[in-house]
């Protein structure tokens, strides 16, 4: 079951039941396996999840307001889990601003999302948080961190993107994520959620099948690749690999 809610400008919410085979969503629901329903959502006898799309800006509070509206709407419609994209927290104008706006996991912004999860009573997949890690003072670099919150607002899993996107973009020059971001040290084991067992990844990780194979072999039923591809990198990476 798939439904759409749109709000101007640049906000989008889709609802789906992970157990159904929908070709356009094959990357999100890679080879879903039949399973008994743990939570009844809407009229389909499967859990309902929401995929929220936003256009982030450097204004973190405005971005939170936009995301919160979509998450509350997803909860109202009966979703048990809502996915937010990579860079849901902000997209800065340059690397220096990215580092300036970044926060630790224990910072104010993530606390607002934990409160939102508790308020709405649903799980949140925060697809790419600009995290100041414990090594921030030494490295002055951040992590691209996929954070999973349960319906009580507790952090149940964190995965730090291991494959950083350092590419030459025709007509635009190089894009070097590694200039400001550290690669994560390891994969995260799949996590049991009301929607199924979820494997965490981020964006450019999609280019590396060994990661998805390892997650699938570890029992993942849903592979997640929250992304913030641009107008050039999207057609070059997201569309060929996900089709």
User: Cα–Cα distances in Å, from 211 out to 25, 164, 226?
Assistant: 19, 14, 15
- Written as six digits, the tokens of 35 are 């399973």
- Written as six digits, the tokens of 25 are 């969503």
DSSP string for residues in 210-225 = HHHHHHHHTT-SEEE-
Residue that the structure tokens 């396996």 belong to: 33
CA distance 95 to 12: 27
**Residues with catalytic roles:** 86, 161, 203
- Written as six digits, the tokens of 44 are 């389909």
CA distance 83 to 92: 21
């Amino acid at each position: 079951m798939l439904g759409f809610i749109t709000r101007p400008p640049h906000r989008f919410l889709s609802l789906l039941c992970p157990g159904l085979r929908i070709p356009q969503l094959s990357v999100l629901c890679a080879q879903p396996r039949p399973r008994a329903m743990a939570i009844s959502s809407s009229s389909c006898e499967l859990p309902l999840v929401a995929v929220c799309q936003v256009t982030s800006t450097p204004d973190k509070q405005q971005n939170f307001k936009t995301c919160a509206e979509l998450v509350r709407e997803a909860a109202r419609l009966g979703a048990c889990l809502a996915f937010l994209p990579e860079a849901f927290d902000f997209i800065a104008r340059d690397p220096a601003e990215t580092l300036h706006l970044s926060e630790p996991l224990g910072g104010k912004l993530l606390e607002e999302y934990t409160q939102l999860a508790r308020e709405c009573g649903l799980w949140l997949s925060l697809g790419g948080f600009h995290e100041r890690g414990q090594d921030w003072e030494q490295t002055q670099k951040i992590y691209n961190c996929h954070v999973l919150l349960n319906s009580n607002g507790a952090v149940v899993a964190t995965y730090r993107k291991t494959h950083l996107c350092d590419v030459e973009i025709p007509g635009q020059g190089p894009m070097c994520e590694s200039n400001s971001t550290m690669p994560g040290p390891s994969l995260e084991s799949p996590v049991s959620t009301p929607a199924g067992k979820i494997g965490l990844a981020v964006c450019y990780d999609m280019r590396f099948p060994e990661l998805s194979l390892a997650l699938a072999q570890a029992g993942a039923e849903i592979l997640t690749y929250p992304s913030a591809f641009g107008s050039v990198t999207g057609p070059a990476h997201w569309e060929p690999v996900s089709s």
